[in-house]
Amino acid sequence: MAVRLLLVIPVEELEAQIIGWLKEGRDDAKDIVDLPWTVTRTGAGHYLAEHPKMPFVLNLVFGEGFVYLLVPLGFETLTLSNDERLKVYHTLLRLNEGINLLKFTLSGMNDEIVLRVDLDRKTLGKGEFNDALTVLLIGINEVVQALGLEEDFAQSIFEHVINMVLERIENGATEGELMAFLTGKVGMSREDAKTLLDRIFEAVKARKADEQDIGYF
């Protein structure tokens, strides 16, 4: 009987390989993994990855045996009433049964809902990693709809885009570069992008003049 040997890539090499997959992308890619993600190292074996077309920030954690993909939903359940928690937990259990590869979990002191995929290092390839990103995208849409969070979630995505624009302004981006970001990466029309930029520039100018908060966005 033939024996099949599985060669496990060292953690450091696997980190470099996966970060390379995410960074070396293009905006017209068909697969999620091939988009040009912005990746930030936040600690040993821990990264944050984001792309304007994706409605989540990916937490990427490298362990000894597994690679963990985590997406916090920003919805804490600890302060809910018992009846509300029961309804939410029932919904999460039903979703866990219906979506392969993905787990809906609770994390932190306030029991925040977190979407999680665990990938075995021994068999991990680019195709499986792309499948994991795809199922996270499907899962976040499913849980937002199941819990009736569409309006809050849309607002959080909008605020995230604004924060990305503000960060680029602070780093000296020109108006043309900001327009290219909003139309090319975010996918906004030129008219909507121009309107948004005008509002942001007005708010930034007011903040500098009067030290006003621009949180009303």
Tens-digit pLDDT profile for residues 170-206: 888 888 888 888 887 777 788 888 888 888 888 887 7
Give the count of domains, the chain. Answer: 2
Confidence of residue 212 (pLDDT cuts 50, 70, 90): low
Q: Is 38 found in the same domain as 139? A: yes
Q: Is 104 found in the same domain as 41? A: yes
Average pLDDT over residues 50-54: 88
Confidence of residue 6 (pLDDT cuts 50, 70, 90): very low
Q: What pLDDT is stored for residue 208 in this prediction?
A: 72
Last residue of a domain, one of 107, 123, 148: 148
Angle (CA) 79 85 90, round 5°: 155
Q: What pLDDT is stored for residue 197 in this prediction?
A: 87
Q: Is 138 found in the same domain as 33? A: yes
Which residues, in sequence order, are CB contacts of 92 under 8 Å at separation 6+? 104, 113, 143
* Cα–Cα distance for residue pair 58/132, rounded to 1 Å: 11
Q: Is 105 found in the same domain as 38? A: yes
- pLDDT tens digit string along 99-153? 888 999 999 999 999 999 999 988 899 999 999 999 999 999 999 999 998 887 7
CA distances from 15 to 47, 65, 94, 167 (A): 10, 13, 33, 26
Residue 217 lies in a domain: no
Q: Is 32 found in the same domain as 53? A: yes
Q: What pLDDT is stored for residue 42 in this prediction?
A: 95
Whose tokens are 């809906």? That residue is 104
Confidence of residue 214 (pLDDT cuts 50, 70, 90): low
CA distances from 108 to 72, 105, 111, 114, 176 (A): 10, 10, 5, 10, 41
Q: What pLDDT is stored for residue 89 in this prediction?
A: 94
Three-state helix/strand/coil letters over 110-130 = CCEEEEEEEEEHHHCCHHHHH
Structure tokens at 196: 């948004």
Average pLDDT over residues 70-97: 93
Burial label, 89 (beta-carbon count in 10 A; 0-12, 13-18, 19+): middle
Structure tokens at 141: 């849409």
Residue 67 in contact with residue 14, Cβ under 8 Å?
A: yes
Strands 38-43 and 46-50: what pairing?
Answer: antiparallel
Single out the residue of 74, 31, 72 nearest to residue 53, CA to CA: 31
* Cα–Cα distance for residue pair 202/186, rounded to 1 Å: 21
Q: What is the pTM of this model?
A: 0.76
Last residue of a domain, one of 148, 166, 198: 148
Q: Is 33 found in the same domain as 74? A: yes
Q: What pLDDT is stored for residue 184 in this prediction?
A: 76
Res 8 pLDDT > 60? no
> Percentage of residues in the chain with pLDDT exceeding 90?
48
